[in-house]
Structure formats: structure tokens, C-alpha cells
Homo-oligomer: A and B are copies of this chain.
Amino acid sequence: MDAPSEFDRQIALTPEGRGRYAADLDAGWSVGGGLNGGYLLALVGNAIRNSLPGKPDPLAVSAYYLSAARPGRATVTVDVRRDGGRVATASADLVQGDQARITVLATYGDLDGLGDDVRTTAPELDLPPVEECPRGSDAPPAVLEMAPIMGRFDMRFHPDDIGWVVGKPSGDGVMRAWFRLADGREPDPISLLMVLDALPPVTFNLGMPGWAPTLELSAHVRAKPAPGWLKVRHETRNLAGGMFEEDCEVWDSTGRLVAQSRQLAMQPRL
């Protein structure tokens, strides 16, 4: 058996009794003022998966971010609210000491047991070939220092969406990239929860380079992803009242739309 991948080690859990898990939040997911919200979502999603035998796949997961998580020990508790028929719903909380970090509701099922009917009218994300897209790891040292998370990925940005790294944002509320985990670990429904919040916020391309804290993120995993590169697209259509929504779509290497999300985030302070 192969050694677990970096990602699997970083979302690993130690059971501590019914619905309770210990975790060690990894500093490699730091960005700006805290740990990446997608990483926390995948870790909590992994705990929920462990609590729902026979329903391994997140169908819908909603996370409310209460305070910035820090590297180190955390506890995840899962409470199964309903388990009957084809889906089950649970709530979950991630806490550090006496600080609640993130609270979650989720519905899980078995993606293999759902129907084969697929009618996708969303246009598949069109990206230039991987080798023509700038690597995230080629960003200036100041960017990489602010965002150690960039070391977790092999991310290749659409050339039109990368001007922000040199102070020339595109002006469009869009961010697109090819995406893989750096160690080649293939995507699965749990890692997709992370992928949905892995790219820099679209506000970087609107000339607001600060940290954009997520208030709420709801993810839908729509199919098991095939191995290989993912294509990820973020967009905002309404920045107002100090907040913006950010929609995300993730396409797998076969061209299937495998995950969608929408989040509400705070506009960075200028």
C-alpha cells in the first residue's frame, strides 16, 4: 500500500469517540490572516464522511466561517441529524480551544448510486493548453510568502487572469486555472471541497489585493472526478454593500462539471 499523500495526511483525523475527531491543522495551508477555508471544509467533510457509513460522498455542504483558524490542534464534532433513504444530513463544528472556527451543515449520499442522466448547459471552461498557462509557483516571492498554500498546488493560471501578481489586475471579476495537487494525488469528492476555494479571490482581479474573508460557502459535488487536471473558474457578478458573491465551477479531465459552489465574502479593505 502506498504511503498516504500529503493532502490525505493533512486532512487525517483521529477518532475520539462517537462523532468526535482530533485533527492537526497544517501550517502549509496558511494564506493571509488564517488557514484556507477550502482546506478546513475538506477536513470537516472528511469527518462527516467517517460518520456516515454507506454515504461517502458530499452532495451539498454549507460552511459558515466564525473565526480565523490557526495551525495546530483542532477538534471536529459531527452530529447526524437524519439518515434514511438515499441521503443523510449532518451538522459539524470545528473548534480550537474554546474558539468556534467553522460550523457546517451537509447532506451526503453515494454518487455511484445516482442516475446517469446528464444535461449540462453550462459551457465547459475553455483554457489555453497547460504549458501556455503561467504557474502559480512562478509568482513573485512576496506573493508566495503571503500564501504558503501555493506550495500545495500545481496551478496554471489563464494568462488573462494573472496580471494582479504584477499590479495589473484584469478588471474582470473572474479567475481561471488548471489545478492539480502538487504531489499528484488525484481528485475525489472530498478534495473537491478544497478545490472550490483554492484559487486567489476574484477581487484580486478587481484591484483589491487584500484578504477576502468568507462568511459562507455552499458546495455541491455533482459527480466523482476523473483522474488528471481539473479546470476551475471563479466569477463574481455582484460586489455591493461591502460583500461579494463568488461562484465556482470545477470541470474534470473528461469535460464533466463535477462541482459547483457559491460563497459570500467580505470585500477586502482598501
- Whether B245 lies near A260 (C-beta < 8 A) is yes
Chain A contact-residue range equals 35 or more
How many copies of this chain does the complex contain?
A: 2
Question: Given the interface contacts A120-B240, A237-B121, A243-B59, does A89 sit within 8 Å of B115 by beta carbon?
Answer: no
State whether the Cβ of A127 lies closer than 8 Å to any Cβ in chain B: no
Contact of A242 (CB < 8 Å), options: B104, B115, B260:
B115
Contact of A89 (CB < 8 Å), options: B66, B222, B240:
B66
A105 surroundings in chain B (CB, below 8 A): 62, 64, 103-105, 216
- Whether B120 lies near A237 (C-beta < 8 A) is yes
Distance between Cα atoms of A147 and B43 in the complex (Å): 42
A100, A215, A216: residue with the most chain B Cβ atoms closer than 10 Å = A216
State whether the Cβ of A218 lies closer than 8 Å to any Cβ in chain B: yes
Indicate with 1 or 0, residue by residue over A219-252, a CB within 8 angstroms of chain B CB atoms. Answer: 0101100000000000011111111010000000
- Whether B119 lies near A216 (C-beta < 8 A) is no
Contact of A218 (CB < 8 Å), options: B82, B114, B216, B236:
B216
- Whether A267 lies near B81 (C-beta < 8 A) is no
Distance between Cα atoms of A82 and B67 in the complex (Å): 9
Distance between Cα atoms of A91 and B103 in the complex (Å): 9
Distance between Cα atoms of A103 and B81 in the complex (Å): 9
Contacts A/B (CB < 8 Å), 16 sampled: A59-B215, A59-B243, A59-B264, A60-B215, A60-B264, A82-B100, A114-B241, A117-B239, A118-B239, A120-B237, A218-B262, A222-B241, A238-B257, A238-B260, A260-B262, A262-B262
